[in-house]
Structure 1
Amino acid sequence: MSEVEERITRIKQHKGVKGLLIVGDDGNIIRNTLGSGSDKESKSYAHHVSEIAKKAKSVIRDINPLDDLTFFRIKAKRQEILVAPDKSYFLIVIQNIDEDNDAINRS
């Protein structure tokens, strides 16, 4: 198994991880582990998150041209989206939020 496959497997084993996407700069999906039957959902994540990531990278560059965006996350009520942008692709991890742990974290 390649190093990339090992890392993908390790990420998928984290608690609550629904799946991950590797998306090219053009918004096309390179790798999808969300499972079968979720093609429309995967394309939606790929399109919207890659657009947000491009805008976020631009904002960071506008603030300080020497900085670059390395990671960000978007947290909603039920899911969290973790994004690690690179020069030519985005790693997007979709994680379901554990309500029990989330309640503990808020206290």
Structure 2
Amino acid sequence: MATSAVMSEVEETLQRIKSHKGVEGIIIMTQEGSILQSTLTEEQSKQHGALISSLTEKASLMISTLDPDDKLSFLRVRSQKKEIMIAPDNDFLMMVIQNPNVVE
């Protein structure tokens, strides 16, 4: 019963984020790169998931190397056409892909 309530809350959160102008996709995945939830196609999810998992791991290693008492809490990568925001947690990470040129 609690699991369906949690899943419902996750779905509501995904829909709320997805409703923001410019948001093109959301992925929730394990730290190892397994996709748990995504609003993208399976192919897009796998491609983004593999690359972002690697990037997040390297960024996290960099932070802990510079300061062993610190931990990566958020990562934002922006290009001319896309912005990817990554929020890692102990077991999972959430990624939001958006078009930064869309005006609210």
TM-score (norm 2): 0.85
**Number of equivalenced pairs:** 97
Q: How does 1:16-95 map to 2 (within 5 A)?
A: 16-34=22-40, 38-95=41-98
Mapped pair 1:7 → 2:13: yes
Equivalent in the alignment of 1:97: 100
The separation in 2 between residues aligned to 1:31 and 1:70, in whole angstroms, is 20
Runs of 4+ in 1 over 4 A off after TM superposition: none
Any gaps of 5 or more consecutive residues in structure 2? Answer: none
Give the secondary-structure state (helix, strand or coil) at the position aligned to 2:14.
helix
The separation in 2 between residues aligned to 1:58 and 1:18, in whole angstroms, is 28
Q: Which amino acid aligns with 1:96?
A: N
Give the secondary-structure state (helix, strand or coil) at the position aligned to 1:44.
helix
Give the secondary-structure state (helix, strand or coil) at the position aligned to 2:58.
helix
Over the aligned positions, Cα root-mean-square deviation in angstroms equals: 1.4
The separation in 2 between residues aligned to 1:44 and 1:5, in whole angstroms, is 22
TM-score (norm 1): 0.83
Any gaps of 5 or more consecutive residues in structure 1? Answer: 102-107
